[in-house]
């Protein structure tokens, strides 16, 4: 059996998808800081295939726009798991429904939701071309193709240095797209009647051409073939979190073929006259690779490397019931290596596969019980205890039963020379009988099987503080942005997320939010409504937390009547918030209600940042920071309600939340 035929058999669902928007963590939909309702550039970072109005602006750290200074952008910060789990409730809206089963709650399509993330060391230099970043320019990263098979290492480096711009957003590294552009596409795939092009110059029809992307549109350094299919059959820089599906009988297939737990290979060539490994090859299977005298090497994904361990025995002896260390070749052996060699890798956790939460077709809204559809992500543990800069992506796939998605391959593509006709055609006419005029169906074969996605702005995963090594941590964030429901759509209005949280009294809560100072929602607005209805200065997101007595009310309680703050124990707070000093319950109340504008009450505690010394806060929080990280707190058993004073416009929007703390180990 040839390598090519082996690929066809392993392959691959044909997938389709519809609009999807991340709300926690905030999805960019290719936005940065536009003051318009529409994003400026749908090709900026990735192919979302969502409409232009979606997405959240990148967070600003202070009360003014970050502008061209990315150091003034805010990255959300989440504690890693470790002795206890750290949970982030990933939240989204998807348009065409998912969940249920064909017998009990049939939908109009099959579906999968695929969650993945990528990380790198947070300490990587800001000047490094490969740093994960939101960028400050809405332009797409540049790209020039290779100079032929004889290109040497220095020529490749010159291409990269000329292409990658540090003011533009980046997730996947430049080498990822360059290898995709160089590698022949998988010709075993069903492409219906779409005509896929070839690269300029070397004649290869590359992995940048797919049924959904037949014209080779480029979206920064995303590889279209990898984007359109899951699981992918080459090493990728993305780590699987979960796949949520309406067909759980496929779970074993997904889990066993996840790059988290198995290897995938690529063809390894060397630059002429050297032992230096190339990052790219046009050969996409073992047979073709080895026939040309090159090596097909199996690569592995990883959470992080332990570079202190230099042999297999020491490496693998470090494994525990929770952590798997293996002596393997990492996927990111690019041109910097003389040969692909084994290193000590901490493997990612296995892929989670479970039933997708139910959502309604043709409705970009909530699921069962009016609650947002979420997946509770157990944030991974990195034993090095070094900060990681990360990005998360969510792909939403729906497939049709008009052809068998598992068994329809290239042999079903339209080929008039061979008399082959695709089972689906572009905008076909159908005869419904009774001698009527044939009717046309709205079928675009490039989209009869699509993959939409959204991605977060960069966020940071960081080590647990010494005071919280073993407790469970729950993150409470803010979803939504400024404007009325028509103006913000397809985003949502403000609310806390999760809105209603139930925890135990041994658990910890971490409030945090981020917002923009450029959410003006101005022209161009597409088919939506221009404007940014709301309180305070135009274009600004602001949130705070003030305790209230009941969710049915709309007034906060004075500190004297507080239970939330008086029953809170501050376990940890950032140096920026505390200045090295502890906070009292009253300090905590002041800091939370002022969104961090005031750090404390007394100058003796926090000096010029105190209520005693600092200039008055604007009563609509205009001069407060757009983003805020609260202390990590532990709460006594009880039920607590809270609100945002600025955004709780009764009858228009309701930004309220609750935390129920159960006693003991409940």
pLDDT tens readout for residues 512-569: 999 999 999 999 988 788 999 999 999 999 999 999 999 999 999 999 999 999 999 9
| For residues 493-510, average pLDDT | 96
Say how many Å lie between the first and final Cα of the chain, rounded. 57
Backbone angles phi, psi at 178, to 5 degrees: -60, -40
Task: List the structure tokens of 545.
Answer: 């937390």
Q: Lowest-pLDDT range, 11-25, 118-132, 274-288?
A: 11-25
Taking a C-beta distance cutoff of 8 angstroms, is the pair 390, 278 a contact? no
pLDDT tens readout for residues 337-347: 777 899 999 99
| For residues 86-113, average pLDDT | 84
- What is the structure's pLDDT at 104? 67
Q: Lowest-pLDDT range, 243-252, 477-486, 526-535?
A: 526-535
- What is the structure's pLDDT at 133? 97
Percent of the chain beyond pLDDT 90? 74
- What is the structure's pLDDT at 103? 62
Helix, strand, or coil (residue 504): strand
User: What does the mean pLDDT of the chain come to?
Assistant: 91
Helix, strand, or coil (residue 375): strand
Residue 8 pLDDT greater than 70, yes or no: no
With CA atoms as reference, report the closest residue to 167 among 136, 138, 140, 143. Answer: 136
| For residues 205-212, average pLDDT | 94
- What is the structure's pLDDT at 403? 85
Percent of the chain beyond pLDDT 70? 95
- What is the structure's pLDDT at 96? 83
| For residues 63-85, average pLDDT | 97
The winner for highest mean pLDDT among 96-105, 369-378, 397-406, 428-437 is: 369-378
- What is the structure's pLDDT at 33? 96
Separation in Å, CA 3 to CA 229, 296, 298, 403, 490 = 19, 11, 14, 26, 44
The winner for highest mean pLDDT among 9-18, 95-104, 268-277, 457-466 is: 457-466
Domain 465-662 classification at class level: mainly beta
- What is the structure's pLDDT at 17? 37
Q: How many residues does the chain have?
A: 666
The per-residue DSSP string of 376-401 comes to EEE----TT---EEEEEEEEEEEE-S
Cα separation, 189 vs 204, in Å, equals 16
Residue 576 pLDDT greater than 90, yes or no: no
What does the domain layout of the chain look like in residue ranges?
3-64+74-399, 465-662
Q: Lowest-pLDDT range, 73-82, 121-130, 462-471?
A: 121-130
Angle (nearest 5°) at CA 320 between 318 and 324? 75
């Amino acid at each position: 059996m040839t390598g090519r035929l082996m690929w066809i058999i392993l392959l691959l669902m044909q997938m389709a998808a519809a609009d999807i928007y991340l709300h926690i963590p905030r999805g960019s939909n290719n936005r940065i800081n536009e003051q318009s309702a529409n994003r400026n550039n749908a090709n900026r970072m990735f192919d979302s295939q969502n409409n232009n109005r979606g997405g959240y602006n990148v967070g600003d750290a202070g009360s003014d726009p970050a502008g061209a200074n990315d150091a003034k952008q805010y990255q959300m910060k989440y504690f890693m798991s470790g002795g206890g789990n750290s949970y982030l409730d990933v939240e989204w809206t998807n348009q065409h429904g998912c969940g249920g089963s064909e017998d009990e709650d049939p939908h109009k399509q099959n579906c999968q939701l695929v969650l993945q993330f990528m990380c790198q060391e947070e300490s990587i230099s800001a000047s490094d071309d490969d740093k994960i970043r939101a960028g400050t320019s809405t332009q797409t990263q540049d790209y020039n193709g290779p100079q032929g098979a004889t290109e040497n290492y220095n020529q490749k480096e010159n291409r990269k240095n000329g292409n990658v711009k540090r003011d533009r957003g980046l997730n996947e590294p430049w080498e990822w797209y360059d290898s995709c552009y160089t590698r022949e596409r998988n010709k075993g795939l069903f492409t219906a009647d779409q005509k896929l092009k070839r690269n300029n110059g070397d004649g290869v029809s590359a992995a940048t051409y797919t049924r959904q992307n037949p014209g080779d549109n480029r979206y920064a350094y995303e590889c279209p073939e990898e984007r359109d299919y899951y699981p992918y059959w080459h090493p990728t820089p993305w780590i699987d979190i979960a796949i949520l599906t309406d067909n759980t009988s496929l779970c074993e297939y997904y889990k066993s073929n996840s790059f988290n737990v198995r290897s995938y290979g690529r063809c390894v060539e060397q630059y002429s006259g050297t032992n230096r490994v190339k990052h790219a090859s046009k050969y996409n299977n073992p047979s073709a690779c080895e026939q040309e005298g090159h090596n097909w090497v199996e690569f592995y994904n990883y959470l992080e490397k332990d570079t202190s361990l230099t042999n297999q025995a020491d490496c693998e002896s470090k494994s525990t019931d929770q952590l798997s260390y293996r002596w393997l070749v990492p996927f990111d052996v690019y041109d910097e290596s003389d040969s692909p060699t084994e290193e000590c890798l901490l493997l990612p956790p296995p892929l989670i596969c479970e039933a997708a939460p139910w959502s309604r077709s043709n409705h970009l809204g909530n699921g069962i019980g009016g609650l947002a559809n979420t997946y509770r992500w157990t944030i991974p543990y990195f034993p090095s205890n070094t900060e990681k800069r990360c990005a998360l992506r969510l792909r939403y796939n729906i497939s049709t039963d008009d052809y068998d998605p598992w068994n329809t391959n290239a042999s079903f593509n339209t080929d008039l020379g061979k008399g082959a006709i695709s089972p689906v055609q572009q905008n076909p006419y159908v005869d419904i009988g009774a001698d009527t005029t044939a009717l046309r169906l709205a079928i675009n074969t490039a989209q009869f099987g699509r993959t939409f996605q959204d991605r977060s702005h960069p966020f940071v995963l960081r080590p647990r503080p010494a005071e919280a090594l073993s407790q469970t941590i729950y993150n409470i964030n803010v979803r939504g942005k400024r404007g009325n429901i028509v103006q913000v759509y397809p985003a949502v209005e403000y609310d806390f997320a999760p809105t209603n949280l139930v925890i135990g009294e041994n658990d910890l809560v971490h409030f945090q939010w981020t917002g923009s100072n450029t959410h003006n929602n101005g022209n161009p607005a597409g088919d939506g409504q221009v404007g940014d209805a709301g309180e305070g200065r135009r274009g600004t997101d602001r949130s705070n937390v003030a305790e209230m007595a009941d969710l049915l009310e709309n007034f906060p309680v004075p500190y004297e009547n507080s239970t939330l703050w008086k029953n809170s124990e501050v376990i940890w707070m950032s140096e920026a918030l505390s200045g090295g000093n502890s906070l009292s319950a009253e300090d905590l109340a002041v800091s939370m209600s002022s969104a961090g504008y005031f750090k404390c009450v007394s100058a003796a505690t926090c000096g010029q940042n105190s209520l005693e010394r600092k200039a008055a806060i604007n009563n609509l929080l205009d001069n407060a920071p757009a983003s805020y990280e609260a202390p990590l707190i532990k709460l006594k058993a009880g039920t607590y309600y809270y609100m945002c004073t600025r955004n709780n416009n009764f009858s228009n929007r309701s930004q309220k939340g609750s935390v129920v703390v159960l006693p003991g180990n409940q």
